Amino acid sequence: MPPYIVSSPLQGFTDYRFRNAHQKYYGGVDLYYAPYIRLNGKKVIKPGYQKDLQVKNNTTINVIPQVMTNSAEEFLFVSDYVQSLGYNELNWNLGCPYPMVTNKCLGSGLISDPDRIDGILDIVHSNSSITVSMKMRMGYEDASEILDVFPVLAKYPIKNIGIHARIGKQLYVGGVDLESFQRCVDSTDQTLYFNGDITSVARYREMTNRFPMIDHWMIGRGLIADPYLPMMIKEDATDYPEDRIDRFSKFHDRLFTEYSDKLTGDKAIIRKLLSYWEYFAQRFDNTARIIKNIKKTKTIEAYDKVIAEVFRYERSKSYIEV
Ligand SMILES: Cc1cc2nc3c(=O)[nH]c(=O)nc-3n(C[C@H](O)[C@H](O)[C@H](O)COP(=O)(O)O)c2cc1C
């Protein structure tokens, strides 16, 4: 069986523009989770979220929407909304690690409260036909917090639990905690997806050898940094194909066009593309210099020159300062 690759959501990165461009120029992803919807107290789905999930913007890809909430009422509001668009699954974010979220008992801040999780799931399952899946860290303070959540989740028809093998307090500092992830595997019969730090084919192989019982792999930052990764994993390839730069250049141009249509002003467009380049540049030579040169640009013309030089260099592997 070929590996099942899931694009882990990154708010600000994996919107429909990115997802469609990725699917068109690379592929290899079986399922894309959309970044979370958050209501902030108002029962309104913001236009940006609406656009991201509209069927016409997601015709060629398999997408599951996500919600971040600690309220059954909000959960139901969002599930009604996504069902009205034709989605039949909603993923629940219990992973976000940032203090402004976790302090409000949201994201990974909710993992330590299994009773509250139970209450929300009870109301949701009593009032909606939506299929619920989870995306979690293993806790906020401690990786054993999730162990008390498993028996709660087992009471409901939860489709799967994607686990980012870190705790919230860690943010992204330090590695994934594979021993604690193994404890999760040993503590539940539910379907677990593995997530965290899959950035290369070699790393993917390492993880599949260590966790042969896992057959769904979620890739977040590694997929932005290297859009080729899912396809290379599927082909078990160790080297990039020869068309790497040509393909990346088309993919980049598509993203550029999409964000040029969305944003106003050269600076806003460059800032957006720069946020992607913070990841893309990790897979090119002269990473710091690429970022520095993009940061210096103030016009699209200057940006184009920097990018053209990156591609020229990568094709010829000789560098000329722009
Ligand atoms: C900028 C950024 C935005 C993210 N947004 C979301 C999100 O909307 N929903 C979610 O479940 N996880 C989100 N995550 C977490 C990732 O989906 C993923 O779980 C995490 O980065 C670990 O996987 P990775 O090592 O493959 O990146 C975000 C992470 C980053 C860095």
pLDDT digit string, tens, across residues 145-177: 999 999 999 999 999 999 999 999 999 999 999
| Residue 40 clears pLDDT 90, i.e. is over it | no
With the most atoms of ligand 1 within 8 angstroms of its CB, the residue from 11, 134, 166 to mutate is 11
The mean pLDDT value for 190-219 works out to: 98
**Backbone phi and psi for residue 196, each to the nearest 5 degrees, phi listed first:** 135, 115
Q: What is the pTM of this model?
A: 0.96
Q: Is-contact 73 34, C-beta < 8 A? A: no
Q: Which helix (H) or strand (E) holds 124?
A: helix 114-127
Q: Is the pLDDT score of 25 beyond 60?
A: yes
In terms of residues, how long is the chain? 322
Question: Is the per-residue pLDDT at 318 higher than 80?
Answer: no
Ligand 1 centre to CA of 279 (Å) is 13
Q: Which CATH superfamily includes the segment(s) 4-235?
A: Aldolase class I (3.20.20.70)
Closest to 170 in 3D by CA, of 94, 275, 95, 92 = 95
Would you put residue 316 in left (φ > 0), alpha (ψ -120 to 50) or beta? alpha
Strand partners, 36: 66
Please name the residue that has the structure tokens 């940061």: 295
State yes or no: pLDDT of 321 exceeds 60.
no
Opening angle at CA 92, ends 145 and 208, nearest 5: 70
d(CA 27, CA 56): 19
Residue 8 alpha carbon, nearest atom of ligand 1? 17
Question: What pLDDT is recorded for position 269?
Answer: 98
Please tell me the residue having the least CA distance from ligand 1 atom 20. Answer: 220
pLDDT at position 94 over 90: yes
Query: What pLDDT sits at residue 205?
Result: 97
Query: Mean pLDDT across the stretch 218-230?
Result: 98
pLDDT of residue 41: 85
pLDDT in tens, 49-73: 999 999 999 999 999 999 999 999 9
Task: State residue 320's pLDDT score.
Answer: 54
Percentage of the chain beyond pLDDT 70 is 98
The mean pLDDT of the chain is 96
Closest C-alpha to ligand 1, atom 14: 10
Ligand 1 pocket: which residues have CB below 6 Å?
A: 8-12, 35-36, 66, 93, 95, 135, 164, 195-198, 219-222
Q: Probe ligand 1: pick from 5, 8, 53, max atoms within 8 Å of CB?
A: 8
Could you give the CA distance from residue 250 to residue 256 in angstroms, rounded to a whole number? Answer: 10
- How many whole angstroms separate alpha carbon 59 and alpha carbon 72? 30
Q: What value does the mean pLDDT take over residues 255-283?
A: 98
Structure-token match 């708010």, residue found: 11
pLDDT at position 86: 98
